Amino acid sequence: MTEARILVIEDEESYRDSLEFLLEREGFAVAFAETGPSGVETFARDGADIVLLDLMLPGMAGPEVFKEIRTKSDVPVIMVTAKDDQVDRIIGLELGADDYVTKPYSGRELVARIRSVLRRAATAGSDLPDEPVRVTAAGMTLDPERLTMVRDGETQTLPPKEFALLHLLAQNAGRVLPRQVIIDRVWGSDYFGDTKTLDVHIKRLRTRIERDPSEPSLIVTVRGVGYTLEP
């Protein structure tokens, strides 16, 4: 039985050939696109349960493809970056990718990451109460049903991971949450990715809620431990 549909957006033929063999052997249905524009078109036409997206693509760069996909769906996306390219990894994290792998990658690791991301996507929100709880803290009201933050009379809709992170901090305002606790609660205990993704999301939240993000007074770093939201 087919487990999930994967859209692979990859311009290197050798990788496409090996991925087709590997992923179909694992029971996935696989579709391919060789350029950025064709990847966007294929996703818009056929959809997917998860996207494996190379950052370096002809016609349209990976980050632009990611943004186009995100205007249509919150489908999980795993970024594929160049070997040891820190810049590419940071770009992937800042965009909000669910995970990333670097070339060359092992087939075993890739399949493990795909299954992990799919599990997190399938269980996202399963631990929420039947009636989502609105939280008010630090002058903000957070609505889990709409993923909105209301502050000073203005409403912002937040990306799902940013909202989940801020909601967790708000529920525990005044309490220091260790980094690993936050990662387990927001990304799942089987998260494989770089822990820097937490720092990237904190940075993005600070640009939304801090008067001076360079000197945060609401989301405070507790060095060596984690983060806290000042009540």
Domain residue spans of the chain: 5-123, 135-229
The more confident residue out of 72 and 161 is 161
- What gap in Å lies between CA 28 and CA 14, rounded to an integer? 19
pTM of the shown model? 0.59
Confidence at residue 89, expressed as pLDDT on a 0 to 100 scale: 62
Confidence at residue 18, expressed as pLDDT on a 0 to 100 scale: 93
Domain 5-123 has CATH 3.40.50.2300: yes
pLDDT at residue 91, rounded to an integer: 65
Per-residue confidence at 103, pLDDT binned at 50, 70, 90?
confident
> Rounded to whole angstroms, what are the CA distances from 90 to 140, 145, 177, 193?
29, 30, 24, 12
Of 42-46, 85-89, 126-130, 136-140, give the lowest mean pLDDT range: 126-130
- Judge: domain 135-229, CATH 1.10.460.10: no
